[in-house]
Amino acid sequence: MNIEPLSVGRLIDAIKSKLESSFRDVVLEGEISNLSLSSSGHWYLTLSDKDASISAAVFKMDAMRNPIMQRLKDGDKVLVHGDINVYPKRGSFQIIIKKILPKGVGDLKEQYEKLKKKLAAEGLFDLAQKKKIPEMPKRIAVITALRGAALQDFLNIYQRRSFWMDIVIIPTLVQGDEAPKALRKSLFNAIKYSLTAPENKKFDLILITRGGGSMEDLWAFNDEGLAWDIFNCPIPVVSAVGHEVDFSICDFVADLRLETPSAAAEVLTQKQSLIVNKMHDVKSKIRNEMRYFLQHISEKIEKRKPKNVLSLLVKKLSLFQQKLNRADLSKRFIELSGLYDYQIDLEDKLKRLQYWKERAVVDRKTKLHKMESLLVAYNPKNVLGRGYAYLEVNKKVVLDTVVFDSLSSQQKMTLHLHDGERTVIKE
């Protein structure tokens, strides 16, 4: 028999076409849970009754037409009008709400509030009844679903932060009609085992936990019988059910409520983690102290080696020898006799005498140079070079007007020029 297979996309498209065309303007009555507002302004919620639940969405524009959305909360009963929509990527369907009207408080929310008030009046939530949670439990019973994300979250943090706490996992149902009975049985088995076990195998703590979900998903933890079992449990009980915003009866009656499984792992291992960190700090400090001590000892040993001791003695002996030489009186005769000061004074005077001697020579040379310059400037021959000449009689008398007038006729004279001499005769 050959049947051509359909692709997933074609099947979903066919379902989408039939559902969306067949269920238009649907009117539903149900209880709100998991109500949330997205950053884009769309509202998302779950509509439930005792038999089933369906996802729903109110888009931003429809929410603005229904201002009641701002006042609704989990547990409210509502009447909604809308269309069925199929989301192909996940193969899921939801109702897109166009109009929403209030119908009062939902059945689950009402049951929850009634049971909460009843148990509070009976004293199950009294702080005085709470048992002290051990700071460093050695052995813990964890009651949860074996393959749930809550257990993995708890174990991941526990394995990273704890070093000596034993975990005993007691698997149980955490959702559905049989879950309350399963939870009570698991708690009973944990108590029974601990009471009969050797001292080192007893439980110091029981943790009841599961991940988040709608009120319907967490309803097993609102069971009255489970609440009384937790209240009467001789072992401290910690409840970590759902997310931060989720509260169950189990949370109120337990000796300690923690927001999530991860928070439970962190709180229960906190003291151990602090001690481990302190041990690491002490270990580091001891290592540093030992390193410093060994270095100090090594330096002392190095100094006390015969070779180094001998070297030190030689240095000291050399120092003493220098001091002894400085103390030798025979070598300090000049210093001690007072001649040293005279010698220094004499040397100083010799230096000053040498200075003034050199200074006098420089001064004489300067004056001599100046006189030489004057002689050169007044040398008659230098004047002849500029076009002048002079007469001389008998090679020794330089003529002036008076001498020239007194000379006889035919007197010979010497005319001096810059480049030679000539003989001239007076007429």
**Angle at Cα 379 formed by Cα 374 and Cα 380, nearest 5°?**
145
In a domain, 184, yes or no: yes
Residues 135 and 233 in one domain: yes
CATH of the domain at 53: 2.40.50.140
Cα distances (angstroms) measured from residue 1 to each of 5, 29, 377: 12, 46, 146
289 phi and psi, to 5 degrees?
-65, -40
Both structure tokens of 420: 């030679």
pTM higher than 0.75 for the full model? no
Among 59, 81, 105, give the residue marking a domain's end: 105
Number of domains in the chain: 3
The strand pair at 26-37 and 237-241 is best described as unpaired
Range list of β-strands (E), 236-321: 237-241, 256-257
CATH of the domain at 190: 3.40.50.2300
Closest CA to 235 of 258, 205, 268, 196: 205
Residues 167 and 122 in one domain: yes
Question: Cβ of 397: how many Cβ atoms within 10 Å?
Answer: 12
Both structure tokens of 264: 């439970």
Among 242, 268, 294, give the residue marking a domain's end: 268
In a domain, 3, yes or no: no
Distance between CA atoms of 306 and 334, rounded to whole angstroms? 43
Residues 398 and 421 in one domain: yes
**Angle at Cα 84 formed by Cα 82 and Cα 86, nearest 5°?**
145
Cα distances (angstroms) measured from residue 253 to each of 22, 110, 124, 310: 48, 19, 6, 82
Residues 149 and 260 in one domain: yes
Residues forming a β-bridge with 299: none
Residues 99 and 124 in one domain: no
Residues 135 and 262 in one domain: yes
Residue 227 near residue 254 (C-beta atoms within 8 A): no
Length of the chain: 427
Residues 92 and 202 in one domain: no
Distance between CA atoms of 299 and 106, rounded to whole angstroms? 82
In a domain, 153, yes or no: yes
- Tell me the pLDDT tens digit for each residue of 369-387: 998 888 877 776 777 777 7
Question: Cβ of 173: how many Cβ atoms within 10 Å?
Answer: 17
Residues 263 and 122 in one domain: yes
Both structure tokens of 184: 């009570």
Residues 149 and 93 in one domain: no
In a domain, 63, yes or no: yes
| Element spanning 218, H or E | none
Structural domain including 188 reads: 115-268
Distance between CA atoms of 120 and 129, rounded to whole angstroms? 12
Distance between CA atoms of 160 and 157, rounded to whole angstroms? 5
Residues 12 and 76 in one domain: yes
Among 77, 105, 133, give the residue marking a domain's end: 105
In a domain, 406, yes or no: yes
pLDDT in tens, the chain (427 residues): 567 788 888 888 888 888 888 888 888 988 998 999 999 999 999 999 888 899 999 999 998 888 788 888 888 888 899 999 988 888 889 999 998 887 765 567 778 889 999 999 999 999 998 999 988 888 999 999 988 888 888 888 888 887 778 899 999 999 888 899 999 999 999 999 999 999 889 999 999 999 877 777 788 999 999 999 999 999 999 999 887 777 889 999 999 999 888 888 888 888 887 877 788 888 888 888 888 888 888 877 776 777 777 777 788 888 888 877 776 656 666 566 666 677 777 888 888 889 898 888 888 899 999 988 888 777 767 777 777 777 788 777 777 776 777 777 778 788 777 777 878 877 7
- Which one-letter DSSP state was computed for residue 215? T
Residue 181 near residue 115 (C-beta atoms within 8 A): no
Residues 213 and 71 in one domain: no
Residues 190 and 133 in one domain: yes
In a domain, 366, yes or no: no
In a domain, 143, yes or no: yes
In a domain, 196, yes or no: yes
